[in-house]
């Protein structure tokens, strides 16, 4: 081999060695870079899995919470319906009393609502037709205790039950519906305690 061939061979060997070094460095760089990307992807996957698990858990909690809310709401509605039915039956039980008992209830209601002064007490047609003997005298006694004067209006009032007290322009609605309506919260509380403890 000549000197020129040796130089060319030397350059070739050196070039191959440098190329091998570059390839080796590139290979190390690629492996390091791929390992870093792999670690980053693994961290991202773990993060996504945690978030998905947390989202799933939150969804399950919301679903359970929503179902519990619907169940509580349904139970509450059912209880309210039972209470309303109990109140309706209580009102019906008063109107279904025999004449003497019914008018005894009305006397108690009158005692609580009578006022001083002159006025009249108005009944429905049904109640006017079934006023028991002695009731008018008991009304006069109750009114006299309160320094008042009431007469039973012979014209039927447009009411279902109970009575209306009229003092001039002032009317006191003492129908059973008005009595129940004005005390509805208290009645519901009592019914709730009686029915559901």
Q: What is the residue range of 167's domain?
A: 98-196
Q: What digits encode the pLDDT tens for the residues 163-194?
A: 999 999 999 999 988 888 887 788 777 777 77
Residue at a domain's end among 95, 123, 145:
95
Is 148 found in the same domain as 85? no
Is 91 found in the same domain as 4? yes
Q: 155 pLDDT exceeds 90?
A: yes
Q: What digits encode the pLDDT tens for the residues 53-71?
A: 888 888 888 887 888 888 8
Is 82 found in the same domain as 116? no
Q: 73 pLDDT exceeds 80?
A: yes
Is 190 found in the same domain as 179? yes
Above pLDDT 70, what percent of the chain?
Answer: 87
Residue at a domain's end among 43, 63, 95:
95
Residue at a domain's end among 46, 75, 95:
95
Is 102 found in the same domain as 86? no
Is 102 found in the same domain as 176? yes
Is 105 found in the same domain as 80? no
Looking at residue 30, what is its pLDDT?
61
Q: Which CATH number covers residue 166? A: 3.30.2320.30
Is 130 found in the same domain as 77? no
Query: Which whole number is the average pLDDT over 91-108?
Result: 89
pLDDT, averaged across the chain? 82
Residue 127 and residue 97 in contact, taking contact as beta carbons nearer than 8 Å: no
Q: 85 pLDDT exceeds 60?
A: yes
The number of folded domains in the chain is 2
Is 10 found in the same domain as 89? yes
Is 137 found in the same domain as 89? no
Is 121 found in the same domain as 37? no
Is 38 found in the same domain as 103? no
Q: 10 pLDDT exceeds 80?
A: no
Looking at residue 184, what is its pLDDT?
78
């Amino acid at each position: 081999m000549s000197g020129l061939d040796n130089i060319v061979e030397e350059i070739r060997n050196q070039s191959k060695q440098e190329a091998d070094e570059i390839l080796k460095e590139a290979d190390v760089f690629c492996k390091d870079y791929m390992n870093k990307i792999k670690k980053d992807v693994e961290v991202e996957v773990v993060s996504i899995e945690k978030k998905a698990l947390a989202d799933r858990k939150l969804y399950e909690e919301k679903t359970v919470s929503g179902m519990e809310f619907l169940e509580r709401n349904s139970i509450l509605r059912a209880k309210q319906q039972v209470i309303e039915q109990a109140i309706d039956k209580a009102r019906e039980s008063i109107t279904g009393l025999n004449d003497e008992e019914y008018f005894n209830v009305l006397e108690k209601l009158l005692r609580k609502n009578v006022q001083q002064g002159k006025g009249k007490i108005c009944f429905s047609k049904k109640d006017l037709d079934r006023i028991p003997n002695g009731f008018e005298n008991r009304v006069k006694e109750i009114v006299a205790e309160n320094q008042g004067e009431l007469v039973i209006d012979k014209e039927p009032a447009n009411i279902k039950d109970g009575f209306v007290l009229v003092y001039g322009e002032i009317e006191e609605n003492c129908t059973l519906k008005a009595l129940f309506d004005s005390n509805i919260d208290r009645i519901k509380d009592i019914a709730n305690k009686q029915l559901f403890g």
